[in-house]
Amino acid sequence: MKTILRGARAILPEGIRQTQVIIADQRILDVTDHADPAEGDRVIDADGLYLSPGFVDIHVHGGGGRSAMSGKAEDTVILANAHAQHGTTSILPTTLAAPIPTLLRAVEGIRRAARMPCDATILGAHLEGPCLSPAQSGAQSPDDLIIPAETDLSPLLDAWPRGIRMMGVAPELPGALELGDQLTRRGIVASIAHSNATYDQVLAALPHGYSDVTHLYSSCSGLIRIHSYRVPGVIEAGLNLDELTVQVIADGKHLPLSLLQLIYRCKGADKIELITDGLEFAAGELKEGTVYRQLNGMETVYEDGVMKLLSRESFAGSVATMHRCLRTMVSAGIPLVQAVRMASENPARRVGAARKGRIAPGMDADLVLMDEGLNIRMVFAMGRAIRDARDPGKQRTDPQ
Ligand SMILES: [Zn+2]
Distance 334 CA to ligand 1 centre (A): 24
Distance 209 CA to ligand 1 centre (A): 20
Structure confidence by residue, pLDDT tens digits, 159-172: 999 999 999 999 99
Distance 47 CA to ligand 1 centre (A): 38
Dmax over CA atoms of the chain, in Å, equals 77
Q: Where in the chain is CATH 3.20.20.140?
A: 53-350
Q: Where in the chain is CATH 2.30.40.10?
A: 3-52+360-394
Distance 39 CA to ligand 1 centre (A): 48
What is the 3-class SS of the chain, one letter each residue? Answer: CCEEEEEEEEEECCEEEEEEEEEECCEEEEEECCCCCCCCCEEEECCCCEEEECEEEEEECEECCEEHHHCCHHHHHHHHHHHHCCCEEEEEEEECCCCHHHHHHHHHHHHHHCCCCCCCEECCEEEECCCCCHHHCCCCCHHHCCCHHHCCCHHHHCCCCCCEEEEEECCCCCCHHHHHHHHHHCCCEEEECCECCEHHHHHHHHHHCEEEECCCCCCECCCEEECCEEECEHHHHHHHCCCCEEEEECCCCCCCHHHHHHHHHHHCCCCEEEECCECCCCCCCCCCCCEEECCCCCEEEEECCEEEECCCCCECCECCCHHHHHHHHHHCCCCHHHHHHHHCHHHHHHCCCCCCCCCCCCCECCEEEECCCCCEEEEEECCEEEEECCCHHHCCCCCC
CATH of 3-52+360-394, one of 3.30.470.30, 3.40.350.10, 2.30.30.60, 2.30.40.10: 2.30.40.10
Distance 244 CA to ligand 1 centre (A): 18
Distance 32 CA to ligand 1 centre (A): 39
Amino acid at 186: R
Distance 385 CA to ligand 1 centre (A): 29
Structure confidence by residue, pLDDT tens digits, 80-130: 999 999 999 999 999 999 999 999 999 999 999 999 999 999 999 999 999
pLDDT the model gives residue 307: 86
- pTM beyond 0.85: yes
Distance 150 CA to ligand 1 centre (A): 23
Residue 225 pLDDT more than 80? yes
Nearest alpha carbon to residue 399 among 253, 257, 283: 283
How far apart are alpha carbons 205 and 201 in whole angstroms? Answer: 6
Distance 96 CA to ligand 1 centre (A): 7
Distance 317 CA to ligand 1 centre (A): 6
Nearest alpha carbon to residue 214 among 298, 136, 109, 310: 136
Distance 355 CA to ligand 1 centre (A): 25
pLDDT the model gives residue 28: 98
Distance 77 CA to ligand 1 centre (A): 19
Distance 218 CA to ligand 1 centre (A): 10
Structure confidence by residue, pLDDT tens digits, 329-384: 999 999 999 999 999 999 999 999 999 999 999 999 999 999 999 999 999 999 99
Assigned fold of 53-350: TIM Barrel (3.20.20)
Distance 322 CA to ligand 1 centre (A): 14
Banded model confidence at residue 400, pLDDT cuts 50, 70, 90 = very low
How far apart are alpha carbons 107 and 52 in whole angstroms? Answer: 30
Q: How many C-beta atoms lie closer than 10 Å to residue 398's C-beta?
A: 18
